[in-house]
A = this chain, B = another copy of it.
Amino acid sequence: MINSDEFRYALGKYITGVTIVTCTGKNGPIGITVNSFSSLSLSPPLILWSPAKASKRHNTFLEAKKFIVHIASEHQLALCKSFSKSAKGENDLIWRYNDDGEAFLDNCSARFECIKHSHFDGGDHSVIVGEVIKIQTTEQDPLIYVGGKYKKL
Question: How many copies of this chain are found per oligomer?
Answer: 2
Q: Could you tell me the distance between the alpha carbons of A30 and B9 in the complex, rounded to whole angstroms?
A: 27
Tell whether, in the assembled complex, residue B125 and residue A14 are in contact, meaning their CB atoms are under 8 Å apart. no
Minimal beta-carbon separation of A140 from chain B (angstroms): 9
Known contacts A7-B135, A42-B7, A123-B43: does B13 contact A16 (CB below 8 Å)? no
Q: Could you tell me the distance between the alpha carbons of A28 and B134 in the complex, rounded to whole angstroms?
A: 43
The one of B38, B42, B110, B118 in contact with A4, judged by C-beta atoms closer than 8 angstroms, is: B42
Tell whether, in the assembled complex, residue A123 and residue B10 are in contact, meaning their CB atoms are under 8 Å apart. no
Please tell me if A79 contacts chain B, counting CB pairs below 8 Å.
no
Q: Is the interface of A mostly helix, strand, loop or mixed?
A: strand
Please tell me if A50 contacts chain B, counting CB pairs below 8 Å.
yes
CB-CB contacts of A132-148 with B at 8 A, as 1s and 0s?
11111100001010100
Tell whether, in the assembled complex, residue A40 and residue B36 are in contact, meaning their CB atoms are under 8 Å apart. yes
Tell whether, in the assembled complex, residue A110 and residue B40 are in contact, meaning their CB atoms are under 8 Å apart. no
Tell whether, in the assembled complex, residue B10 and residue A135 are in contact, meaning their CB atoms are under 8 Å apart. yes
Known contacts A36-B38, A40-B50, A135-B10: does B45 contact A2 (CB below 8 Å)? yes
